[in-house]
Structure 1
Amino acid sequence: MENFNTIQQKLEQFIKRFHTNELLKGAILFFAIGLLYFLFTLLIEHFLWLNTTARTILFWLFITVELALLIKFIAIPLAKLFKLKQGINYEKAARIIGQHFPEVDDKLLNVIQLKHSNTQSELLLASIEQKSAELNPIPFKLAINFKQNLSYLKYVIIPLIILLLVYITGNFSWFSDSYKRVVDYKTAYEPPAPFNFYVVNNDLKAIEGKDFKLLVKTVGDIIPENAQITYNNDTYFLQQTGVGEFEYIFSQPQEAIQFRLSANNVNSKPYNIDIVEVPSLLSFSMALDYPTHTKKQDEIIKSTGNAVVPEGTKVTWQLQTKSTNSVFLYAQDTTSLSLEKQDVFETSKVLYRNYNYTLSTSNTNLKNYENLSFSIDIVKDEYPELNVQMKVDSLDLQTLYFYGQVSDDYGLSKLQIVYYPSDNENDKKVKQIPVGTSNVSDFIYAFPDNLEIEAGVPYQIYFQVFDNDAVNKYKSKKSVIFNYRKRTIEEEKEKKLQQQNQTIKDLNKSLKKFQEQEKRLDELTKTGREKKTLNFNDKKKLASFFKRQKQQDEMMKNFNNKLKNNLEEFQKDDNKEDPFKKDVQNRLEENEQELQKNEKLIEEIEKLQEKISNEELIKKLDEVAKQNKNKQRSLEQLLELTKRFYVEKKLEQLADDLKQLAKAQDKLSEATEDKNTKEKQDALNAAFKEFQKALEQLKKESNALKKPIEIPQDKLDEKEVNDEQQKATDALEQKEAQQQENSKSDTPNTKQQNLENAQKSQKKAAEKMKQISNNMQQSMQSMSGEQMQEDIEMLRQILDNLVLFSFDEEALMNQFKTIDANDNKFANYLKSKMP
């Protein structure tokens, strides 16, 4: 019975496939019929707008129908599939298979019937097995074709097409609204109005304190002409802006608003306008912390962010706000203000340049809502001002007087003078000069004062002032650079001698003017004798003479001052008490009265020339002539004495110069080979020749004196110096030539020999120079004693005529002292001779 069992298994598979096919067909029909009935129900509600009772019946009828369809098409096939309910048996399955397969026909049904017969003989069983074996190859499950169910999908297309058409036409609300009313069958719904209100605004959020514009449209079969809005128990008309379009402006709302729209007895649903709080700035202040050096008192500015402040001011902003989460300060960089306490924000900055900025407030709803722009102008701390004027001391020409003015906008910290050698700027030295801390100050400074200045070295000087601006590290201003050079002792002596020489020239000019004035006086005297009365031209000549006479006296006074200053330069270091000074002073005081009388003589003649007679005038003019002759004679004697003094001092200087030259020659002879050069020797040779020229010139000036001074000069000694210097020059030239040629024939002994020869000649020249210098000094000492008596006699004559000459006592005293400043015998002798 193995084949029959196989047939049974295949029948079971067929029955399962049969019920699966029934379930698939039922699902398609359930979806198609159920969806179609669902749409039919919604359309009934859409068109009829049933009351609650009818919608209740419609709802539960829909539920009943859908449950029936579910049981019929889904539940029953599932029960049969899982054998929860009796499905088809083997015989019905055999008939279906026999109808599908013609070769099977009733064979399968007969086998099943034989199997279930009451008689079971071996012959019957054999027949069943034989027929089963014949049916075994046939695939029974192919009698069920799932694809046949596709024909039922046409019923699904019908409701889908309906949904698509409604969606495309934009009437999908028919189903959605109807569905809502059917499901909510207990709620009473009014039929739709002929138009609907639509709020066009994206959202209903009004910014606090700002107008809010409400935009409304109406859509429907009827378009109302007017529309109203109701809120806060008041009703207002909307403004029509177009067909079915309206607007209404809420003026600066401060709190939330609920409103309804209405038109033609049609009311909208309630709407709510929410208020968005704005971040507001309630109060604003700036604390200004000025830099200390400005000496300005700190202050607080309120209600403005604009200000003009000094550079380096610390500005602190403090803002009192409302509904604000953050505040930003926008400038070249962005700064977030810190929240110090509830609704109070603060930040600080130190400003060094103009500052344009914007304060912006924000909260969670509004970013950078309120923007306030301000500017703070910075007043730069100016550089200090420094103006310096320089004057040179007209007497010594070695002292620079500086007068300066310094100023600054806020004050000064220090003033200094900076000086350094012109060839070494790194060797700067600084001295502080006291200066006030006020805005403007003056100062006076004499350079070099007590500063360490090396004689003969050129210096550069400038002043530098610093302000009190700590913010910019104390700005400074420099003056122009001044140049200074302190004369050496030798230059100082030379300068004094040049001044003395100039004095001699001035004295010569004065003598010529005395002679001219004497001629004019002779002409006036002659005219007075020839004429009984003077005419207008004669009186004019007389007045011109008096004028020239006064000018001549004034010139003599100026000359006296100049001579006094020059002579005092030679006596700066001589602080010894001189008994001659007191005696001369007494004599000057006695003669001063006579001098005043003589000065008044000219004034007297001027006043009385219209009243006195010619004879009296001639007498007065004769007196003037005598005085002028005395003055001229005294001036000639003083000129001679001054020339003698110049020659003596010049001779002293030449002797000192020669001594210094001898030292330089001796030092060169001891120098090493590389420093003992022909170039240096040539310089010493030229210096000695200059000495010879100066000595010859001095000799000429001495010979021009009435009683010449003997100038010691030994031509043979000078020639010997020249010869030795030339020998040294030749030896050094040979040495240097040998070094350049590097000749193999020359041995080191030859070079050394040339150097030794040069050194010997240099030493001989130095010794001879010293000898000449000593001879000059000895000659001057012996000469001064011999000529003292002559000089005293000359001065005696000057003293006798002093009442007619315009020297003051100090100048005269210095003149006496300069004749022989170190010899008290002269002063004692003069004292004994004076009355």
Structure 2
Amino acid sequence: MTGEISLIQKLDAFIRRHHRTKVLRGLLLSFVTLSVGALLFVLLEGVGRFGVAGRTVLFYTFAAVAAVVLATQVLWPLAQWARLSQGLSHDEAARIVGNHFPEVKDKLLNTLQLQRQVDNAQGADVTLLAASIDQRTASLRPLPFTSAVDVSGAVRMLRWATPVAALVVAGVWMQPDWVTAPAARIVQHRTEFIEPAPFDFVLVNDRLEVPAGDAFVVIVETKGDELPASVTLESGNGRFRMERVKPHVFRHTFPAVRNNIDFQFLANGWRSVNHTLRPFAVPTLANLRVQATPPSYTGLPSVDARNQGDVTVPEGTPIQWTMQVHDTDSLRFAWNDEWLQTTRITGNTFSAHAVATTNSTYWITPINDQLTGDSLRHRIRVVRDGKPSIRVEESKDSTSRKKMHFTGSVQDDYGFSRLAFVWEVVERGAGPSEELLAAGGGTPSLTKGRVELEVPQGRRGTFYHMWDVRELAWREGDVFEAWFEVWDNDAVHGAKKVRSTTTRLEAPSAGDLREERVNAAESIEENLQDAAQEAAELREAMEAMQERLREQGEMTWQDRQAMESLLEQQKALQEKLEEMKRDNAKKDERANEFSEQE
């Protein structure tokens, strides 16, 4: 059995070398076939410059041929060599070896067949057969079975592969573009390649991006040996003749770009590569709402301005901005010389807060990752709470020197918190006069005073005040000053006070009193003289009427009319006397305010 094992091993070595030789031959055959096919396809593409469809056919045809050749000539023999599939059997190997060595012919095959008979014999005596097999094996063992492998096919393929390889190397070395460019177009068969023109379309624009909705000007320059006189731009909207800016430079304007635009340049039958103009989102402020709540003391209504950023508010007013944006990642809010913090309420809504204390300017700038939007500038006009104003008119009482009447009006931006009447003694006399002392006057008990008045409601108001100074003990030479004070309701800086004009009141001297009494007496005497004269005239008229009636004996209609006229004159005289009496009493009372009777 040792000889059998040795014979089988020699056949196995023959089989392995046989399949190895087939793999080498398949590799060489595949190289020659695929190289020639590739050169043929490259030549076809180089001459024909097929479109996408033609290059796709070439690509998949070459891929199919390559797959078939590699599968049948390389992969299958390789699998047989690795014993992954059924290869050359021992009997087939024996026949090939027998044909190669004529001296053994069928002896090797017969020996293998006898060995199978011995292996299949069950209980029979096979001693003689085994001896014959050993003898045959011994005679076959010296033969070199591996030399029976036919390598002529591999050598022939090597002769073919060598010039093919030389041709490929020479082509790639000497004219690489002739090989690599068509090959690249076949490999990238889905990509559209433009045949090189005798000139180049050079896009001047650095970036084909534009803010959405904006116009975009595309500029192209032609460079080369044969330059076209005009250039046409072709897009999905049609063809447009480009405007010539200067020699060999042309431009075209895309208005309001909102979607991607694919376009090419055409000139003299040549077409450029495809370009795409892409719009990008622009951060914008869509809606602006300004809400201002004036301080409560102003009584002003709240301000709610929409899409109107300029507002006028009182000083100290809190303001809230609500801003709706589009395509915005963040919002920059510049308030005078500082940055105001903004808060995102929802995905596209921001808010900001501030208190208006002075006239202010602010800018709102929307921002995204591609662009900073336009800055919108607005103003906040702040109205400061001004001082209140007061106007007072005074009038003296005709019946009393110790009464002063004041009528006034006040005005303020928003209202008042306090109104007061103030007086004080600013000068002292040397001492009480005899007449004042006789009237019971002494040293004044008060030197100043303040009277709180009712506060007017609203922004404007009027007031009335009567100052009765009878409680003050005047003396000759004393001087009083009086005025009004009003405060506004400013809750930001505190109430502001304004003072009215000052009224000056001087106590009468003894001479003034005497002169006034003299004037009053003279006025009374004059009025009495006028009344006495009117009474005498009326008496004479009435006596004449009585005398005429006695003479006539009866009263005519004219007499009745004359009598009624005299009675009316008498009644008017009586009323005049009563009026004189009252007027004289007032004058006497005024003249004697500081007399002992008071």
Corresponding residue for 1:288?
292
Give the 5 Å matches for 1:100-499: 181=177, 192-220=196-224, 221=226, 223=228, 227-229=232-234, 234=236, 236-242=238-244, 247-254=251-258, 260-262=264-266, 266-321=270-325, 322-329=327-334, 333-341=336-344, 345-351=350-356, 359-362=364-367, 365-367=370-372, 369-376=373-380, 384=388, 386-421=390-425, 429-448=449-468, 454-456=474-476, 457-471=478-492, 473-487=494-508, 499=520
C-alpha distance 562-206 of structure 1, shift in aligned 2 (>3 A): closer
- Counting aligned pairs with the same residue, the percent is 21
Give the match's secondary structure for 1:238.
strand
Q: What whole-Å deviation, never above 9, does each CA across 1:742-782 have from its counterpart, x for those lacking one?
A: xxxxxxxxxxxxxxxxxxxxxxxxxxxxxxxxxxxxxxxxx
Corresponding residue for 1:561?
582
CA drift of 1:535 comes to 7.7
Question: In structure 2, how many angstroms separate the alpha carbons of the residues matched to 1:536 and 1:284?
Answer: 95
Give the 5 Å matches for 1:543-582: 544-562=565-583, 564-565=585-586
Q: Is the 8 A contact 1:55 1:182 kept in 2?
A: no
Question: In structure 2, how many angstroms separate the alpha carbons of the residues matched to 1:533 and 1:202?
Answer: 135
Q: Is the 8 A contact 1:327 1:345 kept in 2?
A: no
| AA in 2 matched with 1:545 | L
Question: In structure 1, how many angstroms separate the alpha carbons of the residues matched to 2:227 and 2:471?
Answer: 112
Question: In structure 2, how many angstroms separate the alpha carbons of the residues matched to 1:282 and 1:498?
Answer: 85
CA drift of 1:557 comes to 1.0
When structure 1 is superposed on structure 2, of 298-307 and 246-255 the one drifting more is 246-255
Question: In structure 2, how many angstroms separate the alpha carbons of the residues matched to 1:523 and 1:276?
Answer: 121
Question: In structure 2, how many angstroms separate the alpha carbons of the residues matched to 1:337 and 1:323?
Answer: 17
Structure 1 unaligned blocks of 5 or more: 1-47, 62-177, 574-648, 654-817, 822-835
Question: In structure 1, how many angstroms separate the alpha carbons of the residues matched to 2:287 and 2:528?
Answer: 91
Q: Is the 8 A contact 2:172 2:180 kept in 1?
A: no
C-alpha distance 187-453 of structure 1, shift in aligned 2 (>3 A): farther
Q: Is the 8 A contact 1:56 1:185 kept in 2?
A: no
CA drift of 1:497 comes to 7.2
CA drift of 1:416 comes to 1.3
CA drift of 1:488 comes to 6.8
Corresponding residue for 1:85?
none
Q: What whole-Å deviation, never above 9, does each CA across 1:122-154 have from its counterpart, x for those lacking one?
A: xxxxxxxxxxxxxxxxxxxxxxxxxxxxxxxxx
C-alpha distance 512-195 of structure 1, shift in aligned 2 (>3 A): same
Give the match's secondary structure for 1:209.
coil
Q: Is the 8 A contact 1:311 1:381 kept in 2?
A: yes
Question: In structure 1, how many angstroms separate the alpha carbons of the residues matched to 2:181 and 2:591?
Answer: 140
Q: TM-score, normalization: structure 1?
A: 0.41
Corresponding residue for 1:635?
none
Question: In structure 2, how many angstroms separate the alpha carbons of the residues matched to 1:555 and 1:264?
Answer: 125
Question: In structure 1, how many angstroms separate the alpha carbons of the residues matched to 2:410 and 2:277?
Answer: 72
Give the match's secondary structure for 2:537.
helix
| AA in 2 matched with 1:239 | R
CA drift of 1:281 comes to 0.8
Residue from 170, 174, 182 that aligns with 1:57:
170
Report the structure number with the largest CA radius of gyration: 1
Q: What whole-Å deviation, never above 9, does each CA across 1:413-457 have from its counterpart, x for those lacking one?
A: 111113244569xx9754321224334444332113587575442
CA drift of 1:212 comes to 2.0
Structural RMSD (CA):
4.7
Give the match's secondary structure for 1:438.
coil
Which structure's relative contact order is higher, taking Cα pairs within 8 Å and 6+ residues apart?
2
C-alpha distance 487-196 of structure 1, shift in aligned 2 (>3 A): same
Q: Is the 8 A contact 1:228 1:235 kept in 2?
A: no
Q: Larger helix proportion, structure 1 or 2?
A: 1
Q: Is the 8 A contact 2:233 2:263 kept in 1?
A: no
Give the 5 Å matches for 1:380-779: 384=388, 386-421=390-425, 429-448=449-468, 454-456=474-476, 457-471=478-492, 473-487=494-508, 499=520, 502-504=523-525, 506-531=527-552, 542=563, 544-562=565-583, 564-565=585-586
C-alpha distance 392-210 of structure 1, shift in aligned 2 (>3 A): same
Structure 2 unaligned blocks of 5 or more: 1-45, 50-164, 186-193, 429-446
C-alpha distance 521-352 of structure 1, shift in aligned 2 (>3 A): farther
